[in-house]
Structure 1
Amino acid sequence: MDGKHQLTEQELWKKYLAVTRDLLKFIDEEDIDTFLDLVDQRQRLMEMLQALPDHEYARSPEGVALRKKIEPMDMQIMYKARSWLNKSKRNNMTVKGYDSFGMASGNMFNREY
């Protein structure tokens, strides 16, 4: 062995659950930078889970129960992320609208008549 501790499937799923809970927390706080970092971490955990040769824990009653805890959180995360993204887009369009309005009216006031 190379001296590194290999995480078990159960440990990986528990970490996945913990990161999922944190995702909800940070999207609620609108801390998008931390949220995006956690999305990357969770993706790496999922890749590690998918690379395992056997998925015995995921099929066990405990694993099924854990995954059932994750499912509604995933739905909340997707809903809140979409909501945040739509709100950001609206805010961005509002700012652009004011910018173009300001430039047009600014040009009008800067003219010499």
Structure 2
Amino acid sequence: MDGKHQLKEQELWEKYLAVTKELLKFINEEDIDTFLDLVDQRQRLMEMLQALPDHEYARSPEGIALRDSIKPMDMQIMHKARSWLNRSKRNNMTVRGYDSFGSVTGNMFSREY
């Protein structure tokens, strides 16, 4: 791999790291819309990395260290995203429960006696 491709690969990995840090920040803030936009950006970066002809930087000691620094953040992001999703599902079930309760009681109050 020539120096130009290696530099591009390194830049892509550094951007991937930066986006990963932002993902963690926005999932902590529960800013899900921004989080999902960043997930898309990170996916595009990964596709660009996979399309490179060689992965010399990723196999270098520096590249391995960078990827190793991403792994714990990925685990935190996955855990927090699952927690948020579970809370969201519970909240939706609660709201649906109130909605069905409201329609039943609403029908009782709208009857003429």
Q: TM-score, normalised by structure 2?
A: 0.93
Unaligned ranges ≥5, structure 2: none
1:62 partner letter = E
The aligned residue for residue 22 of structure 1 is 22
**Distance in structure 1 (CA, Å) of the matches to 2:112 and 2:37:** 52
Alignment partner, residue 45 of structure 1: 45
Between the aligned residues of both structures, percent identity stands at 84
Distance 1:100 1:30 in 2: 28
2:106 aligned with 1:106: yes
Higher helix proportion (structure 1 or 2): 2
Separation in structure 1 between the aligned mates of residue 31 and residue 67 of structure 2, nearest angstrom: 25
Runs of 4+ in structure 1 over 2 Å off = none
Residue 88 (structure 2) pairs with residue 88 (structure 1): yes
- Consecutive unaligned residues in structure 1, runs of 5 or more: 1-5
Cα deviations across residues 26-81 of structure 1 (Å, max 9, x unaligned)? 00001011000000000000000000001000000000000000001001111100
Normalising to structure 1: TM-score of the pair?
Answer: 0.93
- 1:78 is matched with which residue? 78
Q: What is the deviation of 1:112?
A: 1.1
Question: Shift in Å at residue 102 of structure 1?
Answer: 0.6
User: What residue number does 2:59 align with?
Assistant: 59
Superposed CA RMSD = 1.1
Secondary structure in structure 1 of the residue aligned to 2:38: helix
Q: For residues 86 and 98 of structure 1, what CA distance do their matches in structure 2 show?
A: 19
Partner Cα distance (1:13, 1:110) in 2: 62
Q: Secondary structure at the match of 1:8?
A: helix
Counterpart in the other structure of 1:3: none
The count of corresponding residues between Structure 1 and Structure 2 is 108
Deviation string 1:73-105 (CA, Å, 9 cap, x unpaired) is 001111100100000010011011001001101
SS of 1:9's equivalent in the other structure is: helix
